[in-house]
Homo-oligomer: A and B are copies of this chain.
Amino acid sequence: MLSKTTEYAIRALVSVELNSRKGQRPGFKTIARDIDAPEQYVAKIMQTLTRFKLLKSVRGRGGGFFFTEDYQQDIFLYDVVWIMEGKTFFTRCGFGFKHCDANNPCPLHNEYEPIREAFTQLLKKETIRSLATKIEKGEAVLSRLSV
């Protein structure tokens, strides 16, 4: 469904959110530990997310990753998936047929379309903040061990 890279990206952003709620500005090593992913790979992913302005980074002593006030509330999972997987993720045929759409439907288009749409709506509803809140409330866990 989602690539491992996209999964890391989502969980990394949640880690930043949780850390910032504790008044901390995590670096990529902290994030990698939180989400149990390879440090250097997380570093690459954070670069991408920073380049697309989902968050900010500062180098040097005391540096790390953090959200700006204006963006903090507005990172939908949809945005993350769009950046990491590309826009075609939300439209391409789930069964590999060419030119599959309402006008030229593949044999599963009509049944699959509402499922894909439901998934898209989920990604458009949930935010990094909402995931973090669920974790803080104890309704869910970020990793195997809670952060």
Q: How many copies does the complex hold?
A: 2
Which listed segment binds B: A26-34, A41-49, A62-70, A138-146?
A138-146
Kindly supply a per-residue 1/0 record for chain A positions 121-146, scoring 1 wherever the CB is within 8 Å of any chain B CB and 0 otherwise.
01000100011101100011111100
Residue of B nearest to A7 (CB): B96
Q: How far is the CA of A4 from the CA of B92 in the complex (A)?
A: 12
The interface on chain A, measured as residues whose beta carbon lies within 8 A of the other chain's beta carbons, has a size of: 40
Contacts of A131 in B (CB 8 A): 107-108
What are 29 inter-chain pairs, A to B, with CB distance below 8 A? Answer: A1-B94, A2-B96, A8-B96, A11-B96, A11-B97, A36-B98, A97-B141, A97-B142, A97-B143, A98-B143, A98-B144, A99-B144, A104-B141, A105-B140, A105-B141, A106-B140, A106-B141, A107-B126, A107-B132, A107-B135, A107-B139, A107-B142, A108-B122, A108-B140, A109-B140, A111-B126, A112-B119, A112-B122, A115-B115
